Amino acid sequence: MKIGIVGGGASGALVAAHLVRSGLPKDAISIFDRAGLVGSGAAYGASTQNYLLNVPAGKMSAYPDEPGHFADWLVQRGLGIEGEVSAKFVARQWYGQYLRELIQGVSVISEDVSLIEFQSGQFKIGDRDFDHLVLALGNAEPTLPPQFARFQDHPGFRNSPWRNLPAEIRSEDHVLIIGTGLTMLDALCELSARGFRGQVTAVSRHGFLPQPHQPTTPVPYTGTTTLRTILKYIRKAEDWRAAIDGLRPTSQKIWKEFSLREKRQFLRHARPYWEVHRHRAPAQTYQLAQDWIRTGQLSIQLAANFDPGQSSFDWIFNATGPNQRLASRAVPVIESLVERGLASYDELSLGLDPFSLNPGLHAIGTLTLGTHWECTAVPDIRNQAAAIAAQILQARP
């Protein structure tokens, strides 16, 4: 049996790790990645240790049934202290290294896959045939909001600072960051570690910052699955973190039960609030932003009021986050599948409908956003990876 995986980020690496752990020979698996890398992707290929995981190490194990696996790996490598490391937000690049070690020996093909064909029960990428193909395309580069299009030709413009900030930034420079989410906070951490003393202007539609993590005990949600009752439940909760975390075990089910109208309403009205409460920042990172706001080094502005006036910026970073509308991006490899009737977009056009996929074809992570919603972070992706690996192995002759 031959398995092809398109995308070598965390999702692709996690599927391979689950297959290998279940006994599939490594030489049965091929990972295609446009950068020829595995385990890095958008999140874990950072070249700096100042970009931290936004999930504690104790929740980042590759294997749901071995929750301490990543924390133990950190301790074995001398990167953490036993008993303490599970609650820590460690450098994201270590997670990339962890994933790479799990699948050492699996073949990685450096190729930007743009066409998948299906003939005689086999998926074809070039002249290679596969019985199963896993689509793990992950996060797309951010799209610059039209309001900021004029900055695109600026020599200091970078469309995404996910790997790191330019080394040439001087201590007194003026930095404009478009977006005030987790990527903006990453940039502050890096600037702070470099001893940056200049000014940062950050601008976004709502001006919200991600909320900080704090220890909490989730309160399981048992109400009805309508958008209205869920929002009311979160608003009235004594501890909103306990309420949001209490929704997590059932959030995929809740999303499935929402009507199409509710899903659209959520995306239009509630999403910005959801994102900053659900995807939290390590407390020290949040504190850094607050300190910089207090001293005036960081100014947060609303996009609607943003007027650069006489200000000139040395650097401009698009930190608006991945473009999450698959259909609007016209991704060639996806179009090739849709045109051949091997896959369809979901009803919201955010990703693929996993139930529409030709037998033998699988989708994981952000590609399943419209169907599962809660599927972009490792605690969810690893469950998807385990399920896909089990499905593939079950089909083994």
Size of the site for ligand FAD (CB under 6 A): 33
> Among residues 74, 99, 188, 377, which is the contact residue for ligand FAD, using CB under 6 A?
377
318 in contact with ligand FAD (CB under 6 A): no
DSSP assignments along 84-148, one per residue: TGGG---BHHHHHHHHHHHTTTSEEEE------EEETTEEEETTEEESEEEE---PBPP---GGG
Q: Which helix (H) or strand (E) holds 31?
A: strand 29-33
Q: Is the Cβ of residue 8 or residue 360 nearer to ligand FAD in the bound state?
A: 8
Q: Which residues of 287-316 are buried (b: 16+ CB within 10 A; e: fewer)?
A: ebbeebeeeebbebbebeeeeeeeeebbbb
Under rule CB under 6 A, residue 360 binds ligand FAD: no
How far, CA to CA in Å, does 305 sit from each of 160, 205, 272, 300, 302? 23, 9, 18, 11, 5
Asked if 106 interacts with ligand FAD (CB under 6 A), we say: no
Q: Is 293 in the site for ligand FAD (CB under 6 A)?
A: no
Site string for ligand FAD, 62-101 (x = CB under 6 A): ------------------------------x---------
Task: Single out the residue of 42, 125, 144, 165 in contact with ligand FAD (rule: CB under 6 A).
Answer: 42
Of 282 and 360, which CB lies nearer to ligand FAD in the complex structure? 282
354 touches ligand FAD by CB under 6 A:
no
Structure tokens at 169: 């930034």
CB under 6 A: which stretch of 208-216, 223-231, 311-319, 375-383 binds ligand FAD? 375-383
What is the rounded distance in angstroms from the CA atom of residue 213 to the CA atom of residue 298? 21
Counting contacts by CB under 6 A, is residue 286 touching ligand FAD? no
Minimum distance from CB of 161 to ligand FAD (Å)?
A: 9
Only one of the segments 134-142, 163-171, 257-265, 340-348 lies at the binding site for ligand FAD (rule: CB under 6 A); that segment is 134-142
Pick from 9, 210, 351, 354: which binds ligand FAD (CB under 6 A)? 9
DSSP letters of 152-218?
A: GGSTTEES--SS---TT--TT-EEEEE--SHHHHHHHHHHHHTT--SEEEEEESS---PPBP-----
Q: Considering only the stretches 18-26, 51-59, 173-181, 267-275, report the one whose residues sit in contact with ligand FAD under the rule CB under 6 A.
A: 51-59
As measured in angstroms, the least distance from the Cβ of 33 to ligand FAD is 5
Cα–Cα distance measured from residue 19 to residue 129, given in angstroms and rounded to the nearest whole number:
18
Nearest CA among 321, 214, 223 for reference residue 277:
214
Binding residues (CB under 6 A) for ligand FAD: these are 6-12, 32-35, 41-43, 53-55, 92, 112-113, 136-139, 162, 183, 322, 333, 365-366, 376-378
